Structure 1
């Protein structure tokens, strides 16, 4: 049986070839292309800065909870586990594998890279920071986290010394980490150009929403076209359908990590209790059901859930502590006569179990670990024999529904909570103020020297993109310090470097 290879020669192409080896170092034939790219990411400043960016709870208040860096490490581990499972279960033809057959061969290094890199482009203060920059850039190509990730890897990060700050005749010729084409593709989640102005965005906006559009920037379109051409070996593909198998695995892993570990942090912080999952308010349940059903449509799952069905899934599959075993074996007469006693025992069991899950670290970790393990085991392959690189890894419908419920419940009950909204709102104001100040006449003089050089080489509206790059790269703490230098009566000392 003949089948196209999962990886082809052009996957390994790089924008800058051949790469120079400084100090006469010998080529690294002992290390794969993916492993080299992985190492470049680990040593990149943008990767280190993830430790200073908010995941759920502001890092400046506690160092216990997850930040973008620890979240990314968890996503990478889950993604790698999914890849290993798919390789173990499927042969190179995409069919169930027998023990002696060759595995599908997805690169664990490449999948791990995608997990580690997927949040690089997130600005300070999470979604509010993203909205602030998108509003500032509305007429100049917008801002979006995944688009910025692509930009960091292919333009902003510094791997090789460049002349004229990387610009030739006003055009940005920087190559970032100079990654392999397939590596860049592993983090390209959305195959769409973000509209360059408000008028164009209104044409695709739903109900007048102008929230950040998922996609990549128009200014980076040639880079993306090169990536798609290499991975597809110049084969045609309708716009909007490009997503590699490694990227689909990373996407699933991100959802799994987000839906479980953010919930775990919420339990520890006291923002939410397992009892809130079992007995949510009517308003919260309505919002969860509505959003879950919208997301299931996007996942091509033709099932519309009711409130009762969502509640049953939570109690039976996610948090099975309904106490029903207490009444097993009793007659209807006994149940009727001792109803209040039985009801009290069930409530007592639910309360104490919920308190243990939220308050005991080992039990709480075991709870999330078991859920993650079950979700990983729900991954399956949809093999694309014409373009193996575009094969998809998906979750079984029943597991996908559980992930959506848990993910949505976590978002609605915590991220949308007033206490976190207040912190995010302040963050949005900080990001907007910094951008607008730097964008004023001569505001670029406040930029660090190396960024100023790039700014001066850029043409016209692209200067705003350079400012946006700088602001989005800030950690939460650095943004607060920079903001303080602009408006505070007691700013940071001038001897503290940018």
Structure 2
């Protein structure tokens, strides 16, 4: 892979001749234009009311999917600056230019904003609830008397069994912003390539491969043509785009440190608990010595006379850790540069760095103390009830919708009416010329498209209205 092709500024819809005359007055790069398209989109705004960890939390401190995305964007840009400067300084690639470094920073800044834009309401548990709904129901629901699991092609059914927010993000930005035309946000191929963390179809998912690129599905069958265009234009040839490694590292830094900070504020993890966990961590020679840093900030807080030295210590420690992790991810990319550029690197950027043990500990601590707590379990059970009911009602109607051999009853018609015209227009455009099985597959996607576009509050409110609870 080479950077000139990887940083492709092409879009599915190129500027028309009429618009070209105005280019001289617009000094933005193509990637800066991507940034403004994202910021102005309704899907990006909806992230302010989507869960990161704590659904519908009343605290204005706790992170939402929007604030998380802004943090990822910031970390990703910082990593791009560090890595780009390293490539230039050590002349790792003779074709790499200062302009490319600047472009990388803009691409990563944009990618951080949209990396979670396809996630359904209620965080990652929402993804699990939708996947499990399909696993329970595709064998039960019928189409013209035959179980849908038998009607759909294997690749279609597997798309639903492996339902993924990452694949939904690619779909959303390319097809579901049906405003100017069918090309959605019409983002650059370089940016689209960066957000594809898993460049495999649902039939190629292999969690036991040891290769990070096959751990999840990266695109739906319905979007394979778009994926292949991105692959061809950026020259990735089935490998991860190098910037996808950087985006993933930024995401890992953001959520693993933020989860601990939010857990501390919510009372799930105390200063003493965090210190004890860090003291048990085996630090490599020359490593960060995380426990000592935490204690150092606690002593500093006491010396300053702050009202809560434990809070002072944890929050300042988080900032210090984030800087350390950025350095380690930079090293992880630059020390494996050739493998990454050859498409043969199989791990994340923290693998075998000084940060690997600390990253594992932070993830494990959040899982034990937060994600498996009674509080979170109670919320997730409620969320599952909401999503399961919405899937039941909308899917029953969608299966019959646009099928000449099926009749919608009065409730079905109203359920279809509720679905955004934007999504229905996109469905009808992409259903042209398709056979009945392909249309059925697209109608099932129509439901997941609509539900994934919901905010937490809207999903809860719609559920209550449909249940005549308000």
2:233 counterpart (206, 220, 230): 230
Alpha-carbon shift at residue 69 of structure 1 (Å): 0.6
1:486 match:
466
Aligned residues, how many? 405
Could you tell me which residue of structure 2 aligns to residue 469 of structure 1? 449
- Which residue matches 1:218? 221
SS of the equivalent of 2:349 reads strand
Could you report, residue by residue, the CA deviation over 1:386-422 in whole angstroms, capped at 9, with x for unpaired residues? Answer: 9589999834611122222212222332122221121
Residue by residue over 1:198-256, the C-alpha shift from the partner in whole angstroms, topping out at 9 and shown as x without a partner, is xx98xx577xxxxx943221111111111011111xx7x4x4xx222221111111111
Shift of 1:7: 2.2
Which residue number in structure 1 is paired with residue 187 of structure 2?
Answer: 179
Q: Gaps (5+ residues) in structure 2?
A: 136-148, 150-156, 209-214, 398-411, 432-438
Post-superposition shift, 1:260?
1.0
- Pick from 383, 407, 410 the counterpart of residue 337 of structure 2: 383
Q: Tell me if the contact between 2:47 and 2:66 (Cα under 8 Å) persists in the aligned partners.
A: yes
Please say if 1:451 is aligned against 2:423: yes
Which SS does the other structure have where 1:11 is aligned?
coil
Q: Is the partner of 2:56 in helix, strand or coil?
A: coil
The match for 2:55 is 58
1:87 to 1:26, Cα distance in 2 relative to 1, 3 A: closer
Q: Please give the per-residue CA displacement for 1:167-191, whole angstroms capped at 9, x wherever unaligned.
A: xxxxxxx211111111100101001
Correspondence for 1:373: 323
* Cα deviation, residue 157, structure 1: 1.8
CA contact 1:274–1:357 (8 Å) conserved in 2: no
From 274, 277, 281, the counterpart of 2:274: 277
CA distance in 2, matches of 1:359, 1:191: 46
Matches within 5 A, 1:281-360: 310=282, 317-320=289-292
Alignment of 1:41-80 (within 5 A): 41-80=38-77
Shift in Å, 1:104: 6.8
Residues 258-273 of structure 1: pairs in structure 2 closer than 5 A: 258-273=255-270
Is contact 2:49–2:457 with CA below 8 Å preserved after alignment? yes
Change (3 A) 1:357 1:177: farther
Give, in whole Å, the separation in 2 of the partners of 1:485 and 1:20: 49
Once the two structures are TM-superposed, the CA of residue 20 in structure 1 deviates from its matched residue by: 7.3
Over 3 Å counting, the alpha-carbon distance change for 1:464 and 1:16 in structure 2 is: same
Displacement of 1:377: 1.6
Distance across 1 between alignment mates of 2:364 and 2:222 = 33
Hey, what does 2:111 align to over in structure 1? Answer: 114
What is aligned with 1:254? 251
1:149 paired residue among 164, 169, 178: 169
User: Corresponding residue for 2:407?
Assistant: none
Q: How far is the alpha carbon of 1:41 from its aligned partner?
A: 0.8
- For structure 1, which runs of at least 5 residues remain unmatched after alignment? 163-173, 207-211, 286-306, 326-347, 491-498
Whole-Å separation in 1 of the counterparts to 2:87 and 2:26 = 29
CA contact (8 A) 1:6 1:389 kept: no
CA displacement at 1:308 relative to structure 2: 5.6
Determine the structure 2 residue equivalent to 1:337.
Answer: none
> Scaled by the length of structure 1, what TM-score is found?
0.71
C-alpha spacing 1:75/1:176, structure 2 compared with 1 (3 Å) = same
Per the TM alignment, residue 54 of structure 1 is displaced from its structure 2 partner at its CA by: 0.7
CA distance in 1, matches of 2:249, 2:240: 13
User: In structure 2, how many angstroms separate the alpha carbons of the residues matched to 1:439 and 1:102?
Assistant: 51
Say if 2:199 is the partner of 1:191: yes
TM-superposed deviation, 1:27: 5.9
With over 3 angstroms needed to count, the CA separation of the structure-2 counterparts of 1:455 and 1:398, relative to structure 1, is same
Are 2:80 and 1:83 aligned?
yes
Of the two, which has the highest radius of gyration?
A: 1
Partner of 1:409 in structure 2? 365
Q: CA deviation at 1:362?
A: 4.4
The secondary structure found in structure 1 opposite 2:292 is coil
2:379 alignment partner, SS class: helix
SS in 1 for 2:72: helix
Distance in 1 (CA, whole Å) between partners of 2:198 and 2:418 is: 34
Quickly say closer, same or farther: Cα 1:316–1:230, change in 2 above 3 A: closer
Distance change >3 Å, CA 482–CA 311, structure 1 → 2: farther
Quick check: which one's helix share is greater? Answer: 2
Q: Hey, what's the Cα distance between the residues in 1 that align with 2:18 and 2:60?
A: 40
Matches of 1:190 and 1:136, distance apart in 2: 23
CA contact (8 A) 1:126 1:424 kept: no
Question: Does structure 1 retain, via aligned residues, the 8 Å contact 2:54–2:376?
Answer: yes
**Deviation for aligned residue 1:448:** 3.4
Once residues 348 and 207 of structure 2 are traced to their aligned partners in structure 1, the CA distance between those partners, rounded to angstroms, is 29
So what's the TM-score if we normalise by structure 2? 0.75
* Root mean square deviation, CA, Å: 3.8
